[in-house]
Structure 1
Amino acid sequence: MIKYQHILVVIDPVAETQPALHRAVSVAALQEQADITLFMPIYDFSYEMTSILSSTERDEMREGVLQGREEWLKTLLTPYANSKIKFNLKVVWHSRPFEAIIQQVEEAQHDLVVKSTHKHTLIQSFIFTPTDWHLLRKCPCPVLLVKEQDWRMGGNVLAAVNCSSDEEEQASLNSKIITESAEVARLLSANLHLVNAYPVTPVNMALELPDFDPSVYKAAVKKHHERTLYEYAVRFDVASDHLHLEEGLAEEVIPECAEKTQASLVILGSVGRTGFSAALLGNTAEHVVDKLACDVLVLRPDSSES
């Protein structure tokens, strides 16, 4: 958490409250020095369609809109007038918000993006917006998706790891997730919990292989996950009663564990699938976020280029 010193907050232009800004200030306050950039990409197609105006007049109209929005951003900082945090404001004209956000991250070298998720007013469930999906797959820095539940001092932080793969990239990502989670837990005086889901025995294996024993297979898979999870616990000094190993899909196990432990924050990794594989397989992070009532911090592998 100490490294999050250049924070980008994505402001929602239509929301009555800005929980992402509130959370970003909380994160910055946990550190010795940090700056926060309030960022808002806006676009109105009608300004591009005004054929009776010259390009210069259209540019002037757009500039007027941008300045108006920047003045509005200043009003959001009123509650933080006495804060020692340095605030910056930036409004850009861009038709694709996620591209504008990623471009800003790359240009200004932000090390954390904080964004609220949208809530469906009819069924009171969270909706994963297209911008969220793109950010989790392509944003070069960690993304903190904010709900409305506050972080509690002395609460629980849940780190979700994947013990299925022995690949170096996955092991590195697991270590990154636990390291980050341990630091957040330390700053919040919270307890660190680890959760891992191991897969259900494939039905087709039992049907296609006459000598296949599902119980033996299940026991072997569970033992592998238990051993790997325990090794992480020893390495990062996590209490054994804070380890959670459950059979099932990660997108079901992680939210259930978060609710059981009353976690204030879940930290997990995203492999950033794109294209056909993303459409076919999806991404665990994307499926998990919608089902959680708490904030989610999503990390990418250090070596990921996807």
Structure 2
Amino acid sequence: MAKKILVITDKHERENCSLNKAHEVAAPLGEDIEVIRFIKEEDQHDDATLKTSDNELRTTLSQIFKDYPQKDSIKSKVVVTDNVAQWVTEYCKSENFDLIIKTGHRSESLFHTPCDWELIRNVSVPVLISHHRSWKSNHALMAAIDPTSSDKAHIELNHAILNWTKKWATTFDCTVHVLYCLEVSSIKQDLDLVDIKRYEQKHRAEAEQKVADLLAEFDMPEVQIHVVAGEPAKVISHCANEIRAEMVIMGSMGRKGLSGLLFGNTAEKVMHHLRTDSLVIEAKK
């Protein structure tokens, strides 16, 4: 898992966040690392400035990865484009990456889809959206799953999430929390059509058992299970903040087109509120 890592960065990135996060991940999880630094077409650049950017990137990599055993095998290049997501999507079709790492940007609006969202919707590779913080020792890791789904895509997605969770917990010595949200729409809550607390209490025991049954397949005995009723995006964000999770692992169904523009994915809505790292895994189509 995560043997080949693609790191996305740009010259305006704060404190080389994605590169430092890649350094944290690389030694235990990765073998091959490729770093792409993007420059917008609208920025002033020529062959000389591109060469300067390339040299600056190589110097930065040598400093950050100075203690990395395979530092000499790290690949890097500078790419000029105004559509990072499209470039990465096409590039990943010819390269078998296991993980993408980039810094999160939260400037979204209704008629503009940020690079983060485009990558999640279009790339079949798990995407680690990094925050500007290093992990603490024995940090909290939270995974969001739905153990009641019966269709193949959701079942495979649950397994992928828990496989990554187990790998991450084992590698980085995390405290693991698994969340199952009993979905209740905001409309029903706003209209008082559902007593959210009573609904949660009624279904908690059964839901916890379903989570435990699924976890039994992954040999993760020391897991704290959370069952909370509500709108998934709000529940996941709130629970992550409550337990002070430094990593949230969740799935995405990769909704595209008009439905993606108007409604988005739960993962995208969660990312809007999170101030922590998130690993998003797209469901296989």
2:78 to 65, 74, 91: 91
Partner of 2:256 in structure 1? 274
Change (3 A) 1:213 1:108: closer
Q: How many residues align?
A: 276
Q: Secondary structure at the residue paired with 2:235?
A: helix
Question: How is 1:255-266 mapped onto 2 (pairs within 5 angstroms)?
Answer: 255-266=237-248
Where structure 2 has 5 or more consecutive residues not aligned to the other structure, the ranges are none
What is the CA-CA distance between 1:271 and the residue it aligns to?
0.6
Partner residue in 2 for 1:38: 35
Shift of 1:78: 3.3
Superposed, which structure 2 residues align to 1:1-306 within 5 Å? 3-31=1-29, 34-45=31-42, 62-79=46-63, 80-85=65-70, 86-118=73-105, 126-127=106-107, 130-200=114-184, 203=188, 222=204, 225-239=207-221, 242-301=224-283, 303-304=284-285
- Cα distance between partner residues in 1 of 2:6 and 2:196: 49
Percent pairwise identity: 26
After superposition, give the CA deviation of every residue in 1:183-209 in whole Å (9 maximum; x if it has no partner). Answer: 1000111122100111227749x999x
Q: Helix, strand or coil for the counterpart of 1:109?
A: coil
Residues 133 and 180 (structure 1), Cα distance of their counterparts in 2 relative to 1, 3 Å cut: same
Amino acid at match of 2:138: G
Alpha-carbon contact 2:196-2:229 (below 8 Å) kept: no
| Structure 1: distance between partners of 2:122 and 2:211 | 28
Looking at structure 2, the residues matched to 295 and 213 of structure 1 have their Cα atoms a distance apart, in angstroms, of 33
Q: In 2, are the aligned partners of 1:200 and 1:218 still within 8 Å (CA)?
A: no
In the alignment, structure 1 segments of 5+ residues that lack a partner are 48-60, 119-125
- Kept after mapping to 2: 8 A contact 1:193/1:238: no
Q: Deviations over 1:23-69 (max 9, x none)?
A: 111111114x612211023232487xxxxxxxxxxxxx744443232
Partners in 2 of 1:262 and 1:46 — Cα distance? 39
Report the Cα distance in structure 2 between the residues aligned to 1:74 and 1:68, rounded to whole angstroms: 10
User: How does the TM-score come out when normalised to structure 2?
Assistant: 0.85
Deviates more, 1:139-148 or 1:222-231: 222-231
Return the alpha-carbon distance in structure 1 between the equivalents of residues 177 and 11 of structure 2.
Answer: 36
Distance 2:17 2:195 in 1: 51
| One-letter amino acid matched to 1:161 | I
- CA-CA distance at 1:233 after TM superposition: 2.8
Q: For residue 241 of structure 1, report the CA deviation from its aligned partner.
A: 6.4
* Structure 1 SS opposite 2:86: helix
* Distance apart, 1:292 and its partner CA: 1.5
Aligned residues: CA RMSD: 2.9
**Structure 1 93/155 Cα, relative in aligned 2: closer, same or farther at 3 Å?**
closer
